[in-house]
């Protein structure tokens, strides 16, 4: 039967996904360190072995810088971590998260197991972390009322923010009953008007800090409606409370610094905004004023009667024009009338009469132009230049003019 | 936002609104009336922020037991 070959990479991937099985994850492995190399990159490479077997292991710098001791060949340790494949070499190895020298006891084991469990439950997810208020109204501090941590916290809070409001919730921070006491204080704080909580204590041994590794406390922190800042021990100490808190502060003093802003800084920030506010309004007003000035400097608004005067002047012009025009026209008419009259004068029969002519008309007043218009014996009127004659026709003679004209 | 009473504002909300008001005013795209209204709002917000910041006296208290709060004396080293 022919076998379909697969690539080396394909095989490696299959191994890799096989090792992702929970069986190979979150392990605690006991063994002796050998071939230990602390590389210049900061990562640690070594093997874990027992009488019969060995397995490669790597602990990256980000993890090993939290180590409380420097591992060396021959140390018997418990390594917490998961198996994985380094694909370029086809090597499976233990990716170590935490390392404890043998003999530290069950506390560390319990710690790593609880951490893995809560992590799997999503209690450490950054998505469920609550943001801290920018300016807390009141800060709740859950710690021992007699510890140095409280003193440190209050000193830093009042230095940064002289008007700070603090309410301390006393709690046992180590020993028997400490987790219960911390949980009770945390629950009490929920009913207060605090809007941020600092929970912590000063440095101590792993055992002394162990109250902050309590599962019920972790769940109480996760349930808190008020953001919780954990502040347990020194920078190198990590507790379950640190992982579940909304923010981990490396020390109690650091927690105080993270929780309150510098009062002066905020006052300066508000003052700066105030100046910008006033400046922006001033600029707006002067811009509007410039705009207004531009408008008012236009001739129309500069002198409100400008337009009226302009119109008045135009009216005057028109009237003057009209008068001139009329006078002119009148003169024209007058002169035309004069010449018409003169012409009329020349046409007037009176002038002709003046030269000695007469107008003869019959009794009906008809002007006589021909001798045959009357008979002898008729009376005719003769109009002279001055006066009138009534005459009788004595005789009638031919009409030379007619004969001459009719030829 | 404007419907919200000033006294109900948190400091950071007041600051955020103040920053927004300043930005709007600086952009200069508002009418004079709007600018004046923004300015007035900004002045109120700034006063509110100052009031919040000017609480001068620290108050350190301790909850002695449930419901009983006493002032806490913190000795200086």
Mean pLDDT of A236-258: 93
SS3 (DSSP) at A98: strand
Confirm whether B20 is domain-assigned: yes
User: Residue A322 above 60 pLDDT?
Assistant: yes
Listed in sequence order, the DSSP H helices in A65-177 are 106-121, 148-160
Q: How far B59 CA sits from the closest chain A CA (Å)?
A: 5
Confidence of residue A400 (pLDDT cuts 50, 70, 90): low
Report the 3 state secondary structure along A276-305. HHHHHHHHHHHHHHHHHHHHHCCHHHHCCC
Substitution target in A130, A132, A135 with the highest count of B β-carbons within 10 Å is A135
Which residues on neighbouring strands pair with residue A379, listed in sequence order?
A392
| pLDDT one-digit tens code per residue, A8-28 | 999 999 999 999 998 999 899
Mean pLDDT of A151-175: 93
Fold of A133-261: Rossmann fold (3.40.50)
pLDDT (tens digit, 0 to 9) for every residue of chain B, 77 residues total? 444 566 667 888 888 999 999 999 888 888 888 988 999 999 999 999 888 888 767 889 998 877 788 888 776 55
Spell A240-254 as b/e; 16+ CB within 10 A means b.
bbbbbbbbbbbbbbb
**Can you say whether the dihedral through the CA atoms of A315, A320, A325, A330 is positive or negative?**
positive
Banded pLDDT at A110 (limits 50, 70, 90): confident
Residue A301: what pLDDT? 66
Taking the C-alpha atoms of residue A222 and residue A245, their distance in angstroms, rounded to an integer, is 7
- Backbone dihedral angles phi then psi of residue A30, each to the nearest 5 degrees: -100, 135
pLDDT band, very low/low/confident/very high, at A330 (cuts 50, 70, 90) = confident
Residue A299, pLDDT above cutoff 70: no
The stretches of A297-386 forming alpha helices (DSSP H) are: 299-302, 306-347, 349-354
- Non-local (6+) Cβ contacts of A157 within 8 A are A139, A164, A166, A256, A259, A260, B58
CB within 8 Å: B60 and A135:
no
CB-nearest to B12 from A133, A263, A287 is A133
User: Which of B21, B30, B50 comes nearest A270 by C-beta?
Assistant: B50
Highest mean pLDDT, choosing among A312-326, A329-343, B5-19: B5-19
CA dihedral A307→A312→A315→A320, nearest 10 degrees, is -140
pLDDT at A354 over 90: no
Which fold is adopted by the domain A8-104? OB fold (Dihydrolipoamide Acetyltransferase, E2P) (2.40.50)
| Cβ proximity of A178 and A204 under 8 Å | no
Strands of the sheet containing A228-232, edge to edge, are A247-248, A228-232, A196-201, A139-143, A165-170, B59-65, B68-71
Closest by CA to A59, choosing from A77, A35, A81, is A81
- Average predicted confidence (pLDDT) for chain A: 87
Contact A284 B43 (CB under 8 A): no
d(CA B29, CA A256): 43
Chain A residues at the B interface, defined by Cβ less than 8 Å, are 133-135, 145, 150-151, 154-155, 157-158, 161-170, 188, 192, 263, 266-267, 269-270, 273-274, 276-278, 280-281, 283-285, 287-288
Model confidence band, residue A396 (pLDDT cutoffs 50, 70, 90): confident
Note whether residue B56 is domain-resident. Answer: yes
Q: What is the DSSP string of A31-96?
A: EEEEEEEE-TTS-EEEEEE-SS-EEEEEE-HHHHTT-SS---TT-EEEEEEEEEEETTTTEEEEEE
pLDDT for res B54: 80
Residue B17 domain-assigned (yes or no)? yes
Bridge partners of residue A361, in order along the sequence: A367, A381
Question: In chain A, which residue's Cα lies nearest the Cα of B54?
Answer: A163
Give the tens place of pLDDT for each residue, A116-132: 889 889 999 999 999 99
| Number of domains observed in the structure of chain B | 1
pLDDT at A214 over 60: yes
Q: How far away is chain B from the Cα of A303, in angstroms, using its nearest Cα?
A: 26
Q: Could you give the ipTM of this predicted complex? A: 0.82
**Nearest by CB to B28, which of A154, A165, A287?**
A287
Read off the pLDDT of residues B61-73 as tens digits, 9 standing for 90 and up: 998 877 788 888 7
Which segment of A261-275, A337-351, A361-375 scores lowest on mean pLDDT?
A: A337-351
DSSP SS3 for B19: helix
Q: What percent of chain A shows pLDDT beyond 90?
A: 45
Confidence of residue A169 (pLDDT cuts 50, 70, 90): very high
Name the residue range of residue B31's domain.
6-71
**Cβ-Cβ contacts under 8 Å for A46 (sequence gap 6 or more):** A33, A34, A35, A36, A37, A57, A59, A71, A73
Closest Cα in chain A, distance from residue B22 (Å) = 5
pLDDT, residue B4, reads 57
Cβ A219 vs Cβ A191: under 8 Å? no
Instruction: Give A-chain residues touching B42 at CB under 8 angstroms.
Output: 273-274, 277
pLDDT of residue A228: 97
Within a domain: B77: no
- CA dist., res. A340 & res. A353, Å (int): 21
Q: Model confidence at A46, in pLDDT bands (50, 70, 90)?
A: very high
pLDDT, position A106: 64
Banded model confidence at residue A406, pLDDT cuts 50, 70, 90: very low
Q: At A302, is the pLDDT very low, low, confident or very high (cuts 50, 70, 90)?
A: low
Q: Which of B10, B26, B56 sits opposite A163 (nearest CB)?
A: B56
- Is B76 domain-assigned? no
CA of A289, closest CA in chain B: separation in Å? 11
CB contact under 8 Å between B12 and A135, yes or no, is yes
Find the residue in A nearest to B22 (Cα): A277
């Amino acid at each position: 039967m022919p076998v379909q070959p697969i690539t080396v990479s394909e095989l490696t991937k299959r191994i890799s996904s096989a090792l992702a099985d929970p069986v190979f994850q979150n392990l605690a492995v006991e063994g002796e360190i050998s071939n230990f190399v602390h590389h210049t990159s900061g990562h640690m490479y070594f093997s874990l072995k027992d009488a019969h077997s060995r397995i490669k292991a790597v602990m990256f710098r980000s993890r090993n810088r939290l180590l409380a001791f420097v591992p060396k060949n021959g140390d018997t340790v418990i390594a917490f971590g998961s198996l994985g494949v380094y694909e370029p070499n086809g090597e499976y190895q233990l990716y170590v998260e935490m390392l404890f020298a043998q003999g530290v006891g069950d506390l560390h084991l319990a710690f790593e197991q609880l951490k893995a469990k809560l992590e799997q439950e999503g209690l450490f997810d950054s998505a469920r972390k609550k943001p801290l208020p920018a300016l807390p109204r009141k800060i709740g501090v859950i710690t021992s009322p007699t510890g140095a941590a409280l003193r440190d916290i209050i000193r830093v809070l009042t230095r940064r923010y002289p008007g700070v409001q603090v309410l301390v919730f006393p709690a046992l921070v180590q020993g028997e009953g400490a987790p219960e006491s911390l949980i009770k204080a945390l629950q009490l704080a929920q009913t207060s008007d605090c809007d941020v909580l600092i929970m912590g204590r000063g440095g101590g041994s792993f055992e002394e800090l162990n109250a902050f590794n309590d599962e019920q406390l972790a769940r109480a922190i996760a349930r808190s409606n008020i953001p919780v800042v954990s502040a347990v021990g020194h920078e190198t100490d990590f507790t379950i409370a640190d992982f579940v808190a909304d923010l981990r502060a490396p020390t109690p003093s650091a927690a105080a610094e993270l929780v309150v802003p510098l009062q002066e800084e905020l006052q300066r920030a508000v003052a700066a905004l105030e100046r910008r506010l006033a400046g922006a309004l001033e600029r707006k007003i002067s811009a509007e004023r410039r705009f207004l000035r531009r408008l008012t400097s236009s001739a129309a608004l500069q002198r409100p009667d400008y337009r009226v005067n302009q119109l008045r002047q135009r009216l005057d012009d028109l009237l003057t024009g009209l008068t001139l025009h009329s006078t002119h026209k009148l003169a024209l008419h007058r002169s035309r009338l004069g010449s018409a009259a003169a012409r009329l004068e020349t046409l007037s029969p009176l002038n002709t009469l003046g030269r000695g002519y007469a107008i003869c008309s019959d009794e009906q007043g008809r002007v006589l132009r021909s001798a045959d218009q009357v008979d002898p014996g008729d009376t005719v009127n003769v109009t002279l230049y001055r006066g009138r004659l009534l005459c009788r026709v004595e005789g009638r003679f031919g009409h030379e003019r007619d004969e001459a004209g009719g030829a | 936002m404007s419907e919200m009473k000033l006294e109900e504002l948190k400091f950071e909300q007041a600051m955020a609104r103040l920053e927004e008001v300043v930005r709007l005013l600086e952009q200069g795209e508002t009418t004079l009336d709007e600018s004046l209204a923004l300015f007035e709002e900004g002045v109120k917000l700034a006063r509110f922020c100052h009031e919040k910041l000017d609480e001068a006296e620290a108050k350190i208290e301790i909850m002695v037991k449930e419901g009983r709060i006493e002032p806490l004396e913190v000795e200086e080293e």
